[in-house]
Structure 1
């Protein structure tokens, strides 16, 4: 693996850790991190009350870059992975959604709720 790829991996893991800390502060229980499935990966799985969220974390150098980082193809992969994982994490009478958390240096985490209407 190239040095650039290794650094990108480290940056991604740090961002996911920051997002998990943020969710916990906001009252979420983080159930799983970096869950891989045959159809894609989900960065974080979290629950608050009866709401289950599959969370994509994006770390970028600027807010604009963070907003551009999530395209339809990526959201479709996250949605497919979430569909695959629902039976494992869904409890009785729970709502499910897909969220995104942007991690940008110098700013608090930016939590976008319910980004996928599939």
Structure 2
């Protein structure tokens, strides 16, 4: 019997696409997707007015015990902070006004997705 469910990576890519389109409609200029460096991975990087924003995109399907935003562990926070620090260092952006936001995505009831944008969700 074949399992036709999408892979975890495919679901992640789809959620990042949903988040990027949502953020663009909110006026965010999405600059980069899936940035990998020695510190870890950054899902999306964008500019919200004059602020450089690093986005962690979380998706949780129907029946998940924890919500998308609540699924960020202390280990994930630490890896994300390291990735952001490395990115800022590599691009010489230490003086940049920046923040880390979370875009939490879940299946919707009246719309396809329920999206929650949490600004400044993760702080150093």
Instruction: State the shift of 1:50 in Å.
Output: 1.0
Aligned Cα root-mean-square deviation (Å): 2.4
Structure 2 gap ranges (5+) = none
Structure with the higher strand share, 1 or 2 = 2
Q: What are the ranges of 5 or more consecutive residues in structure 1 without an aligned counterpart?
A: none
Distance 1:83 1:5 in 2: 36
Greater share of residues in helix? 1
Residue 77 of structure 2 corresponds to which residue in structure 1?
Answer: 75
Q: TM-score, normalised by structure 2?
A: 0.81
- Larger Rg computed on CA atoms: 2
In the superposition, the TM-score normalised over structure 1's length comes to 0.85
Does the aligned pair in 1 maintain the 2:69–2:102 contact within 8 Å? no
Is the CA contact 2:45–2:54 (under 8 Å) kept in the aligned structure 1? yes
Give 1:8-23 correspondences, 5 Å limit: 8-23=8-23
Moved over 4 A (4+): 3-6
Name the residue aligned to 2:28: 28
